[in-house]
Amino acid sequence: MAGETLVARQVLLRRLRAPFAVATGFAAVATALARLGPGGMVPVACPFLSLTGLDCPLCGGTRSADELLHGHLLTALGLNALTTVLLLGLLAGWVAWLVARVRGRTIDWVPGGRTWLVFGVVVVSFWVLRVLPGPTSVLAA
């Protein structure tokens, strides 16, 4: 009986190795962002913004991630809604992956061609809307 429990724990730990490795990587990036990023020691500047004076789709993304790490969801959305939604989607995907691995299942993470097309349309639309003057300018960083 005790041997079966030990084997079950070992199997579970093996299943959770990859999700926890990814979580460790994200934790390292989050720690670096908290220490060095916005409000920290290293200023972050967008090369596209510096060259053109226009926001790129990721402008404000670092500050948005920093605000999200501090629990300020509305501020994060105001800085870059696309980055905020993508980061929350990554978190939801990680949780789904973790739950699937606990249950002994796998998830196919390779998106199809339509998914990439929709993602591209969303990114380009967001970029155009945030650059245009008028009511959509609230999307600007």
Q: Residue ranges per domain, the chain?
A: 2-110
69-75's contacts with Cβ under 8 Å and 24+ in sequence apart are 69/30, 69/33, 69/34
> In the block, which residue shows the tokens 């999307």?
139
Query: Average of pLDDT values for 67-76?
Result: 90
The reported pLDDT for the residue numbered 40 is: 61
Q: How far is CA 32 from the centre of its chain?
A: 15
Residue 138 is predicted with a pLDDT of 66
SS3 state at 137 = helix
Q: 90: closest CA among 12, 8, 19, 138? A: 19
Over residues 68-80, mean pLDDT: 90
Please state, rounded to an integer, the average pLDDT across all residues of the chain: 83
